Structure 1
Amino acid sequence: MSDRSIALITGANKGIGRGAAEQLAALGMTVLLGVRDPRRGEETAAVLREAGGDVHAVTLDVTDQAVIRAAAQWIEERFGRLDVLINNAAITGSGQVSPQDAVDQVPSTVDLDMVRAVFETNVFGVIAVTNAMLPLLRRSSAPRIVNVSSHAASLTVNSDPDGPLAALPSSAAYSPSKTALNALTVQYANELRKDGILVNAIAPGYVATDSNNHTGFLTVAQGAAVLVRVATAGADWPTAGFFAAEGPVPW
Structure 2
Amino acid sequence: MTVALVTGATQGLGLALVEGLAQRLEPTDTVYLTGRDMNRVTTAVQCMPGGGAKVRGELLDVADPNAATRVAQQIQQRHGGIDIVFGNAVMRVGPDDDPREIVDHYTQVNNFGTTRLLKAFAPLLNDNGRLLVVASSLGTLHHLAPVLHRRFTGPSTLDEIDEQIALWRDEVKDGRAKATAWPGFVNIPSKIGQVAAVRVLAAERRAEDLARGILIASVCPGMINTPTSALWWDVSAAPTPAQAATALLDLAANPVKPEHYGELVRHGNTVPFS
- 1:151–1:157 CA contact under 8 A, matched in 2: no
- 1:118–1:174 CA contact under 8 A, matched in 2: no
The C-alpha deviation readout for 1:94-126, integer Å capped at 9, x for no partner, is 3x3xxxx2x656xxxx41x42232222111111
Q: What code does the residue aligned with 2:240 have?
A: T
The C-alpha deviation readout for 1:228-250, integer Å capped at 9, x for no partner, is 12222313453012121262223
Match of 2:131 among 126, 145, 148: 145
Q: Could you tell which deviates more after superposition, 7-16 or 76-85? A: 76-85
The C-alpha deviation readout for 1:191-248, integer Å capped at 9, x for no partner, is 1212313211111111012422485311111211122122223134530121212622
Q: What code does the residue aligned with 2:42 have?
A: E
Match of 1:14 among 11, 23, 34: 11
Shift of the alpha carbon at 1:158?
6.9
Tell me if 1:120 matches 2:108: yes
Match of 2:204 among 180, 183, 191: 191
Shift of the alpha carbon at 1:51?
4.6
Q: What code does the residue aligned with 1:44 have?
A: A
- 2:9–2:89 CA contact under 8 A, matched in 1: yes
- 2:140–2:192 CA contact under 8 A, matched in 1: yes
Residue 134 of structure 1 is matched in structure 2 by 122
Shift of the alpha carbon at 1:146?
0.5
**1:246–1:133 Cα change, 3 Å:** closer
Residue 248 of structure 2 is matched in structure 1 by 227
Shift of the alpha carbon at 1:67?
2.5
Residue 69 of structure 2 is matched in structure 1 by 69
Number of residues of Structure 1 aligned to a counterpart in Structure 2: 224
Shift of the alpha carbon at 1:57?
0.8
Task: Calculate the aligned-residue CA RMSD, in Å.
Answer: 2.2
Residue 165 of structure 1 is matched in structure 2 by none
- 1:30–1:53 CA contact under 8 A, matched in 2: yes
Residue 40 of structure 1 is matched in structure 2 by 40
Gaps in structure 2 of 5+ consecutive residues = 146-182
CA distance in 1, matches of 2:190, 2:206: 24
CA distance in 2, matches of 1:248, 1:88: 19
- Of all paired residues, the percent bearing the same amino acid is 28
**1:198–1:152 Cα change, 3 Å:** same
CA distance in 2, matches of 1:243, 1:182: 10
Shift of the alpha carbon at 1:70?
2.4
CA distance in 2, matches of 1:177, 1:157: 12
Residue 211 of structure 1 is matched in structure 2 by 228
Give the secondary structure class of the aligned counterpart of 2:57.
strand
Residue 162 of structure 1 is matched in structure 2 by none
Gaps in structure 1 of 5+ consecutive residues = 160-169
Q: What code does the residue aligned with 1:10 have?
A: T
Match of 1:200 among 214, 217, 238: 217
CA distance in 1, matches of 2:135, 2:270: 13
CA distance in 2, matches of 1:154, 1:236: 21
Shift of the alpha carbon at 1:172?
4.1
Give the secondary structure class of the aligned counterpart of 1:50.
coil
Give the secondary structure class of the aligned counterpart of 2:128.
coil
CA distance in 2, matches of 1:70, 1:208: 33
Shift of the alpha carbon at 1:157?
5.7
Match of 2:264 among 221, 242, 249: 242
**1:226–1:80 Cα change, 3 Å:** same
